[in-house]
Amino acid sequence: MSEVGELTQTPLQKVWIPHASNRLHQRRGSAVPQFTNSPTMVILVGLPARGKTYISKKLTHYLNWIGIPTKVFNVGQYRREAVQTYQNYEFFRPDNQEAMHIRRQCALAALKDVHTYLSREEGQVAVFDATNTTRERRNMILQFAGDHGYKVFFIESICDDPDIIEENITQVKLSSPDYKDCNREEVVEDFLKRIECYQLHYQPLDDELDSALSYIKIFNVGLRYLVNRVQDHVQSRTVYYLMNIHVTPRAIYLTRHGESRHNLQGRIGGDSGLSPRGKQVGAGHGGDSGLSPRGKQFASALAGFIESQNIRELKVWTSHMKRTIQTAEALHVPYEQWKALNEIDAGVCEEMSYEEIQAHHPEEFALRDQDKYRYRYPKGESYEDLVQRLEPVIMELERQENVLVICHQAVMRCLLAYFLDKSAEELPYLKCPLHTVLKLTPVAYGCQVESIFLNVEAVNTHRERPQNVDVTREPEEALGTVPPHY
């Protein structure tokens, strides 16, 4: 037992830690709870064109976004680097000795890099993206993982619907480096023969033989799942995520509320019009920092835009703050309010302008510029906190189809970073200007973005990172990148 000693608060993340150096737990003082102990290998299993790479990439985005360092290792990529030019499907014939040797070498090279990532580079999860269709190959990987103390979780994608397979080939194989100079028919024909090469020796995960393994089997793009022996938190979250994603075509529209009075004055945060009941914010309540006249114009423009897009069964979500609700009201459609979509809480800096923050909290202002993602406002939040509270929103966005999210600058940056796979460093500086709608359409392995400015002028609220982020800097240096305001 130890003495009840004094604590200090870390200046950046505002996390309480003991004065004395921590002899116990290297993760004490983390801003978000850590649930991962031993590293995990996620192993994909399945014939070609079953969505393994799609799942690998999406899962990796998600785990990284919620703070679990994850990396994909695509064995096909290693093969492309080893064998510079792809001739045709005959490379994949099971009796092609030379090719088999090369492919095994590639798998081993990838495993070597997995080891480096998990054991030397502080990675938590490695996603091993290859067909892994034979028990022999999977046993080799299990052996490897066992030797290094990694947990193993298999994800098998099984699909027998020829329409889905052909759609996959169209979406991602036509544009593969393997098929650079081929036309569509040639690609489909060759790729189908490639699949056949694997089909003969395919040993799916078996209920009996593999009953001791941890895995999820996904049937026909999510119609059915078989989940076996989930071991821990990461695997549980992975299963939940995989069970919520889908491939039905749809679009997600992200936008901020219309320009508010606070925006005009260069003030951050705030809300107003909270009724005496202090509960839900409704439009038409009194208070000052609702939409500016231009903001109201934007709301009408947004209504017009949405109508012109003719979107099937559009869901509209807002935060609980007056400015997003006022914006949604102009659409004259039902909308859902999520408290989780509220703007980042700037704590003691709420409703201040940057000039005021510099005047009253110059050190905080500098710390924020040093690490904008992890910096937590005193009595407020950080971007890192924001991501944690937005996770249920992301999960529901994955489940839904066409959605319009009317939110706030920091919130929109977090959501955008998830869809566009931006790093923690880039996230807080993503450009999300007022009066602009971003239309995200999933395509191939990523997301197509269209930016639509709705032609109603607004102040710029984007503050770039200044050159000098030191706490000793001059006010001019600190305020050099503040956008103009009234």
Partner 1 sequence: MFCMTNCPTLIVMVGLPARGKTYISKKLTRYLNWIGVPTKEFNVGQYRRDLVKTYKSFEFFLPDNEEGLKIRKQCALAALNDVQQYLSEENGHVAVFDATNTTRERRETIFRFGEENGYKTFFVESVCVDPEVIAANIVQVKLGSPDYVDCSNDEATEDFMKRIECYKNTYEMLDETLDKDLSYIKIMDVGRSYLVNRVMDHIQSRIVYYLMNIHVTPRSIYLCRHGESELNLKGRIGGDTGLSLRGKEFAKSLAQFINEQNIKDLKVWTSQMKRTIQTAEALGVPYEQWKVLNEIDAGVCEEMTYEEIQENYPLEFALRDQDKYRYRYPKGESYEDLVQRLEPVIMELERQENVLVICHQAVMRCLLAYFLDKTAEQLPYLKCPLHSVLKLTPVAYGCKVESIFLNIEAVNTHRDKPENVGVDRSREEALRTVPNHL
Residues in contact with partner 1 by the rule CB under 8 A: 1-7, 9, 14-18, 24-25, 27-35, 211, 223-230, 233, 236, 239-240, 243-244, 271, 274, 276-279, 336-340, 379, 385, 388-389, 396, 399
Considering the complex, what minimum distance in angstroms separates the CB of residue 473 from partner 1?
29
Closer residue to partner 1 in complex, CB, 7/449? 7
Residue placing its CB nearer to partner 1 in the complex, 169 or 393: 393
- How far apart are CB 222 and partner 1 at their closest, in Å? 8
Shortest separation between residue 405's beta carbon and partner 1, angstroms: 13
- In angstroms, give the least distance from the CB of 244 to partner 1: 6
- 395 vs 430, beta carbon nearer partner 1: 395
Would residue 147 show up in a list of annotated catalytic residues for this protein? no
- Of 106, 129, 210, 381, the catalytic one is 129
Q: Is 257 a catalytic residue?
A: yes
Active site residue 447: no
Q: Is 343 a catalytic residue?
A: yes
Task: Pick the closer one to partner 1 by CB: 6 or 185.
Answer: 6
**Catalytic one of 259, 271, 343, 345:** 343
Q: Which is nearer to partner 1, 110 or 386 (CB)?
A: 386
Determine which one of 156, 190, 210, 257 is catalytic.
Answer: 257
CB of 408 to partner 1, least distance (A): 16
Comparing CB distances to partner 1, the nearer of 263 and 388 is 388
CB of 15 to partner 1, least distance (A): 6
Name the minimum Å distance from CB 327 to partner 1: 18
- Residue 305 or 418 having the CB closest to partner 1: 418
For the chain, how far is it from start to end, CA to CA, in angstroms?
58
**Catalytic positions, please?**
129, 159, 257, 343
